[in-house]
């Protein structure tokens, strides 16, 4: 394992406090799960059934969608629905799916922008399928501010599996000890801690701000 980083004495932060600030890290990795940004993705991160089902390799995704298509096709034949009815139904599903996703949690986005303004890169690591992510990215425009991101659907493995953390560190060329991992799932935090990350369990934007100020990443002044 790499040498202990500047956060070695911070095994896990679960209570906000303001002790003497440690030296700020060279690089900070913020991995906001979708939950930290929108109300809808709060629910999705705690229940990844759909995204895990649709995620994975293209071949697996195709096979799963083929099975769904056969089942749905048989049902539609039995119901005697026209192709145009099918198209309209699918279009309505995706329209309503994006409409039903929660609004942006702007205070969290503001913190992300403050971290970037302080000179730290901000990355995303999410359990999401590659097929549905473009709709999310289109709605939540702040995602374009991320320096990079990795989706479970891109690599066929999801949090809290340690492998996705290793793959992500390889992608961004950083060591875990150089990074702060933020997530609203305790299981994901525990996995990150095992690899040497500093972990912050997300509960609210004000609490997150307090943690980052305590670590010396933010100076307590809003941009």
Checking if the pLDDT of 191 tops 60, the result is yes
pLDDT band (50, 70, 90) for residue 53: low
* pLDDT at position 131: 80
Checking if the pLDDT of 4 tops 70, the result is no
Backbone torsion region of residue 196, taken as left when φ is above 0, otherwise alpha when ψ lies between -120 and 50, otherwise beta: left
- Rounded distance, CA 124 to CA 152, Å? 11
Checking if the pLDDT of 194 tops 60, the result is yes
CB under 8 Å to 181, separation ≥6 — which residues? 29, 30, 31, 188, 189, 192, 197, 198, 199, 200
Checking if the pLDDT of 219 tops 90, the result is no
Checking if the pLDDT of 100 tops 50, the result is yes
CB under 8 Å to 144, separation ≥6 — which residues? 137
Checking if the pLDDT of 24 tops 70, the result is no
Q: Give the three-state DSSP class for 198.
A: strand
With beta carbons less than 8 A apart as the criterion, state whether 108 and 37 touch.
Answer: yes
Checking if the pLDDT of 162 tops 80, the result is yes
* pLDDT at position 86: 63
| Answer CATH for 20-223 from 3.40.50.620, 3.40.50.1000, 3.30.365.10, 3.30.390.30 | 3.40.50.1000
150-160: average pLDDT? 96
Checking if the pLDDT of 16 tops 60, the result is no
179-208: average pLDDT? 97
- Extents of the domains making up the chain: 20-223
- Supply 13's token pair: 């932060």
Residue with tokens 């097929």: 131
């Amino acid at each position: 394992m790499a040498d202990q980083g500047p956060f070695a004495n911070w095994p896990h932060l679960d209570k906000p406090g303001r002790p003497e600030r440690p030296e700020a890290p060279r690089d900070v990795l913020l991995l906001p799960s979708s939950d930290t940004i929108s109300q809808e993705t709060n629910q999705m991160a705690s229940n990844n059934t759909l995204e895990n089902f649709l995620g994975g390799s293209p071949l697996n995704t195709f096979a799963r969608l083929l099975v769904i298509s056969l089942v749905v096709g048989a049902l539609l034949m039995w119901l005697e629905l026209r192709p145009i009815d099918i198209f309209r139904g699918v279009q309505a599903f995706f329209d309503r799916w994006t409409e039903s996703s929660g609004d942006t949690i702007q205070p969290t986005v503001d913190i992300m922008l403050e971290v970037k303004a302080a000179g730290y890169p901000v990355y995303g690591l999410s359990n999401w399928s590659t097929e549905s992510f473009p709709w999310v990215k289109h709605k939540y425009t702040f995602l374009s501010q991320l320096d990079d991101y990795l989706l479970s659907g891109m690599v066929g493995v999801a949090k809290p599996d340690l492998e996705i953390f290793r793959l992500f560190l390889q992608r961004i060329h950083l060591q875990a000890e150089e990074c702060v991992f933020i997530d609203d799932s305790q299981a994901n935090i525990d996995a990150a801690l095992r690899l040497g990350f500093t972990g912050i369990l997300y509960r609210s934007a004000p609490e997150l701000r307090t943690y980052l100020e305590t670590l010396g990443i933010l100076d307590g002044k809003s941009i």
